[in-house]
Amino acid sequence: MAQGKQNSRTFAQIMADFTFGLSYNSIPREVLAAARRHLADTVACAFGAYNTAAVQAVRRYATEKGGRADATIIGTDRKVPASLAALINGTMVRYLDANDIFVFSRGGPSGHCSDGTPGLLALAEQYRRNGEELLTCLVASYELQGALGESFNFWDRGLHVLTNVGWVIPIVAARLTGATPKEAVHACGLSVATDMVLNTWLRTTHAIPMIKGVAVGLVLERALEAAELATLGVTATEDALETALSGLVPSGDAGIIQTRLEQLRKRWTTPRNMIKAYPAQLYTQAAIEAALGLYQNGARAGGVRKLILYGHRNVCGGVQGSPQAFAPASREAADHSTPYVMAMALLRGQLTSREYDEAPWTTPEVKALMARIELVEDPDRNRALDAEGMLGVRLVAELTNASTKEITVHQPKGHPDAPLSDAELLEKMAWLLENLAPARTPERLLDVCSRLSTADDVQQLMKICNATTA
């Protein structure tokens, strides 16, 4: 009888019960440690995008629209309504494609759990929640997104995985606003009805536009509005997720989602999120590392006759390896282009956000090097991707002096199986914040996240990154 009653709960009710029942002291120490590092990385990724064109446009929209001074726009001392702060800060977090990403123990599509963090930060600031409550809600967000990502393939159904954020964040946001679990369920229903994110921009035959980064902010803005409306008594259907999924998955697959959601607390996925070493798409990370390995071993672009990359289908094919990837037309396309990021890594000996400034993909030097790159899909690496989640590559450089150099990467740096050290994370944060903040800002940011506890800590976190004091 008890089991039957449990199974009668809707997906949103299970998610709300988990979110509202989670306490800081019940979260394993290693999960909290991961959450603190991810928070520091996420804020640095946001601040690093401060001067990009899309961010400037969205920031202008948010500041001109104005309203209540609820939450801080990262990089400024300006406060706007929480939903607008989520809009602009969400755009900032995602824009450089440097923020973390959930990786399965097997291959397959994934999502950026940190996409939801700006919404939680805005509400924690607005409602003066303490650091422990913010971290608890951050973990709830990561765990729910991980559970849904493992049990439902968004991409195969024509949806962008950002849809996951639109389903999860209204529930977690409701906890931060002081709502009830029932109101959280209605918040989810409001968002599900209006926030199914179609995959309209990641296609092999099209250039990638600015929406790749801006879409996150738009989803978060709606998610926070849904939570606020539900708190004010606006209702939706409690089985909105089941209704939405009924046309997207075979009936039997709904049971897979139910089972995975009921495993929450029994296994934790937050530590399975990768903190990227480089600002580029997930599957290009190993290719960048291999190209940097060649550079560190003395190879230079002028002495390379040909570069042959042996990899799985997601680094040698798809958007990353399409014909369009050899002629990227935008910053958004460049950070999803395997040949471009390899070329820049070998030309400059680094791959930071600076390698996208002033459109290097249009220069003859970069075009010529990309033309000397060959991408070879390796069946063995496809099998390793599917069975073991191996993202590695083998890169062979045929040099003009008739010799060859070879680099093999098994798992890229930052992957949960090859995590960044604190020193490597600080190095990443340093280039993200270069010319935007004082030199000690990365250390200050990592320090405040490592001891985040009180409401004052949350306020301090938002003050650390301020471009006006650089």
Q: How does pLDDT run across 98-120, given as a tens digit for each residue?
A: 999 999 877 666 899 999 999 99
Residue 293 has pLDDT above 70, yes or no: yes
Is pLDDT at 470 greater than 80 in this prediction? no
pLDDT (tens digit per residue) in 18-34: 999 999 999 999 999 99
Reported in sequence order, the residue ranges of 19-175 that DSSP labels E, i.e. its strands, are: 71-72, 79-80, 101-102
**The pLDDT of residue 417:** 94
pLDDT surpasses 50 at 5: no
Per-residue pLDDT at 199: 75
2-274 belongs to CATH 3.40.50.300: no
Helix axes 29-48, 441-450, angle to 10 degrees: 150
Q: Which residues of 247-276 are buried (b: 16+ CB within 10 A; e: fewer)?
A: ebbeeeebeebbebbeebeeebbbbbbbbb
Closest-CA residue to 138 (of 126, 120, 125) = 120
Between the alpha carbon of residue 163 and those of residues 159, 242, 357, 389, the distances in Å are: 7, 14, 30, 23
What's the residue count for the chain? 470
pLDDT category at 41 given cuts 50, 70, 90 is very high
Return the domain boundaries, the chain: 2-274, 282-409
Mean pLDDT, residues 119-135 taken together: 98
For the segment 159-199, what is each residue's pLDDT rounded down to a tens digit? 888 889 999 999 999 999 999 999 999 999 999 988 777 77
CATH number of 282-409: 3.30.1330.120
CA distance 170 to 120: 10
Q: Give the Cα separation of 412 and 78 in Å (integer).
A: 38
Which positions ≥6 away from 237 have C-beta within 8 Å?
A: 189, 193, 243
pLDDT at 252: 63
Identical topology for domains 2-274 and 282-409: no
